[in-house]
Structure 1
Amino acid sequence: MLTGKQKRYLRKEAHHLNPIFQVGKDGVNENMILQINEALERRELIKVSILQNCFEDKNSIAEQLVEGTGAELVQVIGNIIVLYKESDENKTLELP
């Protein structure tokens, strides 16, 4: 579980990142979760964009991604979800 200070730090680090995944009208599927998990292992911090044609609620999508990947939810702002998962091999971020 992330503390408030850690979430603030991760929000600051994620500010300049571009979303590398998009959730469309099909919602979240297993293949997407696998790819996001691989990206989290390489990058630790990613943004996921929710397209306008997506029928599901952004908070339920965030919950599905967190459950599927085991990542921490940093922030849901607008149609962007920020996820963090500490990497085993490629550790780059040092949390306060």
Structure 2
Amino acid sequence: MLTGKQKRYLRSLAHHLDPIFQVGKGGVNENLIKQVEDTLEVRELLKISVLNNCGEDKHEVAEEIAAGSGAEIVQIIGNTIVLYKESKERKTIELPK
């Protein structure tokens, strides 16, 4: 579980990132979760955009993706979700204590 201080730090790092994935009318599926997992292993921090034509609520989408990929939700702002998962192989982000 991330502390408030760690979330604040991750939000500052994510500010300049562009969303890599988009969730549309197809919703969340296994393929999307697998791709998010692989990308998180490489980048540790990423943004996902929830499109207007997505039938699900953005909070439900965030929970589904986070649960499926083992990531933590850093922030949901507007239609953008920020996720973090510590990399096993390529740890680059050092979280504050």
Instruction: Measure how far apart 1:20 and its partner are.
Output: 0.3
* TM-fit CA distance, 1:8: 0.1
SS across alignment from 2:81: strand
* TM-score, normalised relative to structure 1: 0.99
Distance 2:42 2:20 in 1: 13
Equivalence for 1:42:
42
- Uncovered stretches (5+) of structure 1, i.e. residues with no partner: none
Tell me the alpha carbon deviations over residues 10-63 of structure 1, each in whole angstroms, 9 at most, x when there is no partner: 000000000000000010000000000000000000000001111100000000
Does residue 11 of structure 2 align to residue 29 of structure 1? Answer: no
Partner of 1:2: 2
Amino acid at match of 1:3: T
Quick one: which amino acid aligns to residue 11 of structure 2?
A: R
Residue type at the aligned position of 1:72: E
Runs of 5+ consecutive residues of structure 2 not aligned to the other structure:
none
CA distance in 2, matches of 1:16, 1:91: 19
TM-score normalised by structure 2 residue count: 0.98
* RMSD (Å) for aligned C-alpha atoms: 0.4
Supply the AA of the counterpart residue of 1:69.
S
Which residue in the other structure is 2:80 paired with? 80
Q: C-alpha separation between the residues in 2 aligned to 1:26 and 1:57?
A: 13
